[in-house]
């Protein structure tokens, strides 16, 4: 909890815990740059399941865009060409959960009924949270549903819920953009009337505060790939983000 997958380094305790596992679940799409280190110490025969593998309608950049990003000094190679933050769209989270259920049921056939019940219960709660967020956001005028994000991780959520990310303070690797890009973003926000900036707790809020002072926008907190004691689960994260966006866009 509280760890950033972009910079996470496995501790000895993490490695020791892997000695007894039968399966390792990971997002994939190059999110977990530390994954090879974990796989190297897994017991023989342990399966690694990449939950994003085979997912449809990924949001990716072209090789030409990748080249431009690298020329700007952005660490694009850390995530490859596709945005890995699929779980912020609940339709992908459903796929993840169903894949976890299938994997565990195959490894532990005696627990199939239990895994099925747990999955059904989770999906009911997921659908309820998703419906609440959609109802609130879609009731607002489209031109109010616009923001700048600190970390370019919310494109799947934006597509699913119908809001617009007009810019970000950092690429989805988490690397901050430079002063020139920040100045241009402030100009765009003033010109287009964007009044919301979303910061994340695992990153420094300095740039978000500077941009807010320059534009008069308000800063809210969203979560993407880090949990906190106050928001300790995926469902809590989803609800927190949805309510924070709804409240911010309503003002």
Q: Is the dihedral of CA 202, 207, 209, 212 positive or negative?
A: negative
Share of the chain above pLDDT 70, in %: 90
The SS3 assignment for 46 reads coil
- CA dist list (Å): 225 to 4, 18, 139, 150: 7, 21, 27, 13
Task: Please check whether residue 5 is in contact with residue 38, taking contact to mean a CB–CB distance below 8 angstroms.
Answer: no
Strand order in the sheet with 196-199: 164-168, 146-149, 196-199, 218-221
The model carries a pTM of 0.91
Spell out the domain ranges in the chain.
129-250
pLDDT at 5: 78
Give the C-alpha separation, 25 to 13, whole Å. 18
Instruction: Say if residues 25 and 49 touch (Cβ distance below 8 Å).
Output: yes
Homologous superfamily of domain range 129-250: Nitrogenase molybdenum iron protein domain (3.40.50.1980)
For the chain, residues with pLDDT lower than 70 are 1-3, 6, 65-79, 171-174
């Amino acid at each position: 909890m509280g760890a950033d997958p972009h910079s996470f380094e496995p501790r000895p305790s993490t490695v020791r815990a892997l000695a007894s596992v039968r399966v390792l679940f990971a997002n994939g799409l190059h999110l977990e740059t530390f994954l090879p280190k974990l796989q190297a110490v897994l017991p023989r025969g342990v399966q690694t399941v990449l939950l994003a593998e085979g997912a449809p309608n990924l949001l990716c950049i072209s090789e030409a865009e990748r080249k431009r990003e690298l020329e700007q000094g952005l660490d694009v190679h850390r995530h490859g060409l596709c945005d890995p933050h699929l779980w912020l769209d609940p339709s992908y989270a459903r796929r993840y959960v169903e894949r976890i259920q299938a994997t565990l049921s195959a490894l532990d056939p005696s627990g199939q009924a239990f895994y099925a019940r747990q999955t059904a219960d989770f999906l009911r709660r997921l659908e309820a949270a998703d419906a609440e967020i959609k109802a609130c956001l879609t009731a607002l005028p489209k031109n109010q549903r616009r923001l700048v994000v600190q970390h370019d991780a919310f494109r799947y959520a934006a597509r699913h819920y119908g809001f617009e990310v007009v810019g970000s303070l950092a690429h989805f690797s988490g690397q901050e953009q430079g002063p020139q890009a920040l100045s241009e973003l402030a100009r765009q926000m003033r010109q287009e009337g964007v009044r919301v900036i979303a910061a994340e707790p695992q990153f420094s809020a300095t740039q978000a505060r500077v941009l807010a002072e320059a534009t008069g926008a308000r800063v809210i907190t969203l979560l993407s790939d880090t949990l906190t004691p106050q928001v300790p689960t995926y469902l809590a994260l989803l609800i927190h983000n949805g309510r924070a966006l709804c409240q911010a866009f309503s003002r």
